[in-house]
């Protein structure tokens, strides 16, 4: 299994289709789909995502299918190999409920790979990965890509409870925190990060998860002067930079404002989802 070159220029968005090769309920309300699409699998980088129409159809040519729901949903790539890639999602609302009904052999309509992906080249020796909830899947790909570059990574995984711990078998170095204490550290994953940074400072921290978790991670890293990239999971109605539905406020700075059409706001679907944590206005 080889990873496409991280930090290479983005290949640009593609409208394409992918066949469902496997489906697995990995935890209550959480489904992993293995999808067949060599164009995506061979070019995607850790931290990029696909934008999926949340309903499946029986064959690739079928045009008599519904556009309801109309908007695509964004999912990070969990991992990719040769001609296949995986996504893992939690059933939240209408779109993910519908996607969970996709059957093996059916087809999905998607755009991808989208987004910038993590700046893996910023880590030369070691990195800490922090994932919370459905922010864990992109860390699987990130850990493998870093390992292929000879970078050691340690995964800090946050979940609500033991039942919600995702992908633990995919990480070689792992610590777990649960909100209810049913597994690992009783508390927030940020506590684990603070302890890890007491021991050793990594080149980079890469994080993905709920906004409050990312804000805490950003503050912890800033206090220790450790570089941190966060992957934001804002709602993305269009995914291609035209609706402004995904904008996030940035700290006012000349560098940041330069070249952006939206003043203090960045469209995360095109300028992210991975962002330097110091650039974001977390207030
Ligand atoms: C880059 C990225 C990566 C992600 N990766 C994952 C992942 O790996 N696994 C995972 O489980 N989840 C992931 N998510 C979150 C996932 O996209 C949402 O959970 C999913 O969209 C929920 O869809 P739903 O229909 O079930 O929920 P709903 O709440 O019914 O619908 C959410 C969708 O409705 C639309 N929407 C909601 N509010 C508005 C609004 N105010 N204006 C316009 N449109 C709106 C958006 O298209 C949004 O995606 C990711 C999100 C992003 C942005
Ligand atoms: S999702 Fe429409 S601009 Fe980003």
Domain of residue 40: give its range: 15-114
Smallest-distance ligand from the CA of 89: 1
- Return the ligand number nearest the Cα of 235: 1
Q: Could you tell me if 200 and 212 lie in one domain?
A: yes
**Residues 127, 224 within the same domain:** yes
pLDDT of residue 68: 72
Pair 96, 132 in one domain: no
Q: How far is the CA of 276 from the centre of ligand 2 (A)?
A: 19
Residue 216 sits in a domain of what CATH number?
Answer: 3.40.50.80
What does the pLDDT look like over 221-240, one tens digit per residue?
A: 999 999 999 999 878 999 98
Structural domain count, the chain = 3
Ligand 1 centroid to Cα of residue 40, in Å, is 20
- State the number of CA atoms in the 13 A half-sphere of 127 facing the CB: 27
What integer pLDDT is reported at residue 26 of this predicted model? 95
Distance 117 CA to ligand 2 centre (A): 16
Q: How far is CA 204 from CA 33, 127, 271, in A?
A: 30, 5, 19
Distance 100 CA to ligand 1 centre (A): 14
Substitution site in 47, 92, 230 for ligand 1 pocket (most atoms within 8 Å of beta carbon): 92
Q: What pLDDT, on the 0 to 100 scale, is given for residue 64? A: 60
- Report the separation in Å between the CA atom of 253 and the middle of ligand 1, taken as the mean of its atom positions: 29
Closest CA to ligand 1's atom 17: 74
- Residue 143 sits in the same domain as residue 181: yes
Residue 9 resides in a domain:
no
Beta-carbon contacts of 242 under 8 Å, excluding residues fewer than 6 positions away, are none
73 lines ligand 1 (CB under 6 A): yes
Q: Is 253 near ligand 1, meaning CB less than 6 Å away? A: no
CA atoms of 73 and 114, how far apart (whole Å): 12
- Whether residue 224 sits in one domain with residue 130: yes
User: How large is the angle between the packed helices 189-199 and 211-224, nearest 10 degrees?
Assistant: 20
Looking at residue 244, the DSSP 8-state letter turns out to be -
Q: Best substitution site from 73, 115, 269 to test ligand 2's pocket, by max atoms within 8 Å of Cβ?
A: 269
**Which token pair is 54?**
């949340």
- Is 5 part of any domain? no
Strand order in the sheet with 152-159: 185-186, 174-178, 152-159, 126-132, 204-208, 227-231, 274-276
Q: Which atom of ligand 1 is nearest to the CA of 74?
A: 17
Ligand at shortest distance from the CA of 47: 1
The pLDDT profile of the chain, 283 residues, written as one tens digit per residue, is: 334 433 433 445 689 999 999 999 999 999 999 999 999 999 999 999 999 998 877 666 666 666 678 899 999 999 999 999 999 999 999 999 999 999 999 999 999 999 999 999 999 999 999 999 999 999 999 999 999 999 999 999 999 999 999 999 999 999 999 999 999 999 999 999 999 999 999 999 999 999 999 999 999 999 999 999 999 987 899 998 999 999 999 987 655 555 555 778 889 998 999 999 999 999 8
Ligand approaching nearest to the C-alpha of 243: 2
């Amino acid at each position: 299994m080889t990873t496409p070159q991280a930090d290479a220029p983005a290949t640009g968005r593609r409208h394409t289709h992918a066949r469902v090769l496997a489906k697995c309920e990995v935890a209550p309300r959480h489904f992993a789909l293995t999808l067949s699409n060599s164009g995506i699998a061979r070019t995607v980088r850790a931290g990029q995502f696909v934008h999926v129409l949340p309903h499946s159809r029986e064959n690739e040519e079928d045009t008599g299918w519904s556009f309801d729901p109309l908007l695509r949903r964004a999912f990070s790539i969990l991992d990719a190999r040769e001609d296949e890639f995986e996504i893992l999602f939690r059933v939240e609302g209408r779109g993910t409920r519908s996607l969970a009904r996709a059957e093996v052999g059916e087809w999905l309509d998607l755009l991808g790979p989208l987004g910038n992906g993590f700046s893996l080249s910023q880590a030369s020796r070691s990195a800490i990965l922090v994932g919370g909830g459905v922010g864990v899947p992109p860390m699987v790909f990130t850990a493998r890509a870093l390992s292929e570059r000879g970078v050691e990574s340690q995964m800090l995984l946050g979940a609500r409870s033991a039942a919600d711990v995702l992908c633990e078998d995919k990480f070689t170095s792992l610590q777990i925190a649960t909100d209810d204490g049913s597994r690992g550290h009783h508390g927030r994953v940020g506590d684990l990060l603070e302890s890890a940074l007491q021991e050793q400072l990594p080149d980079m921290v890469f994080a993905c998860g709920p906004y409050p978790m990312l804000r805490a991670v950003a503050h912890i890293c800033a206090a220790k002067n450790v570089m941190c990239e966060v992957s934001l999971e804002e709602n993305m109605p269009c995914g291609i930079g035209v609706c402004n539905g995904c904008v996030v406020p940035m700290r006012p700075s000349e560098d940041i404002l330069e070249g952006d059409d939206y003043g203090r706001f960045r469209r995360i679907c095109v300028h992210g989802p991975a962002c330097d944590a110091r650039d974001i206005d977390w207030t």
